[in-house]
Amino acid sequence: MKKLVSLLLVGVMLLAVAGCSGGTPSQPGSTAQPPAQTSKAGDPAPEQKTFDIIYLTPSTASQFWTYIGIGFENAIKDLEKKEGVKINFSTVGPAEESQTEDYVTAFEQCIAKKPDAIVTATLAIDATIPKAREATQNGIVLNFVNCGLGSGNDGANAETYNQFYYCSNDTIGELAAQAFLDAMKKKNMPIDKGTIGINMNVENEALNHRIQSFRDSMTKNAPKLVQTDTYYNGNVVEKAQANAENIISTFGADLIGMYSGNNITGDGVCLAVQSAGIGSKIVSVAVDSDDIEIAALKNGTLDAIIVQDAYDQGYKCMENAIMTLLTGKNPESEKQVNCPPVIITPDNMNDAAMLDLLDPTRLKQN
């Protein structure tokens, strides 16, 4: 009996020594794990979360969508540092905005890759709606920026995506009309006669608001001015230039100015106006900025640009996507958030804030 008790005591002591040693057994094939990594406070260190996010751009060639992308990239860098996450970020999409079929195909390919989130903008609303629904139903956080599945404040198709940051196209058109009339006043041009050439890239449910709100504002404030039909260019600079040259030759001395609904259209119009040497004789107002328009604003070929805060839209869109992934819910109280535009003219274009809006590459983090 005493021998049995002694053997039991020895066994207990051996177990105690093994349990306090903190080492791993030396036997081959052991599955014991090393001690958990701890933080300085003694708590287990949190595992770094990694997310795959794709930017599906409508155009890899457009400076405007590049500006949006800079907002994305800076938000990623800030959130990686602030939240301790890792973002695998990639950009895909067609070269030109007019390649909407390629955009839809790219959307399908993005969904097949099963990323954690997709951030995008669309110029093909009807074809994008079913893809958006599919992405959301598959658990992908889908955020739209600038161009979504409606005009923005109409809340259209809101159930098919997570969040939408946009700039009111109605406001863009209204500000364009205001800038146009201000430029006419500055050039001492009467508002009771003359023709305005209307130019746009593509016919789109949301973008049409930029044209219609401009038309409505001009009709209200200068009802005697004639407005042409809208000349569409398919988002091709050469076509936009040809359209503008056609307007210039058709209406001659009766032409008092032109309105360009986006930056590609503005590029073509600026080139045509400069070539014709009529920058001082007419008013030209465009929407969104790029290198050609900035140069035209400096040399007097362009009187004003209605500039959206592309960088801010991109930053907020990406920040929201990452926080939605981290928290499991959309942090915004409203599903559509408007980011207002501003009027930039030769008089204010050198202000620091305006320079950042005209060229968000100035804000890019290294």
pLDDT of residue 48: 81
In this model, does residue 334 exceed pLDDT 70? yes
pLDDT, tens digit, for every residue of 99-131? 999 999 999 999 999 999 999 999 999 999 999
Strand 342-344 to strand 304-307: parallel, antiparallel, or no bridges (unpaired)? Answer: antiparallel
pLDDT of residue 47: 73
pLDDT of residue 46: 59
Chain mean position to CA 230: 26
Find the radius of gyration of the CA atoms of the chain: 29
In this model, does residue 32 exceed pLDDT 90? no
Phi, then psi, of 171 in degrees rounded to 5: -65, -40
Q: Cβ atoms within 10 A of the Cβ of 226, count?
A: 13
Q: What is the identity of the amino acid at 344?
A: I
In this model, does residue 342 exceed pLDDT 70? yes
Q: Which two tokens stand for residue 316?
A: 């907020």
Cβ burial, residue 332 (10 Å; 0-12/13-18/19+): middle
Average pLDDT over residues 79-83: 97
| pLDDT higher at 7 or 221 | 221
pLDDT, tens digit, for every residue of 292-315? 999 999 999 999 999 999 999 999
In this model, does residue 137 exceed pLDDT 90? yes
Chain mean pLDDT for the chain:
89
User: In sequence order, what are the beta bridge partners of 230?
Assistant: 198
| pLDDT higher at 205 or 321 | 321
Average pLDDT over residues 342-361: 97
In this model, does residue 40 exceed pLDDT 70? no
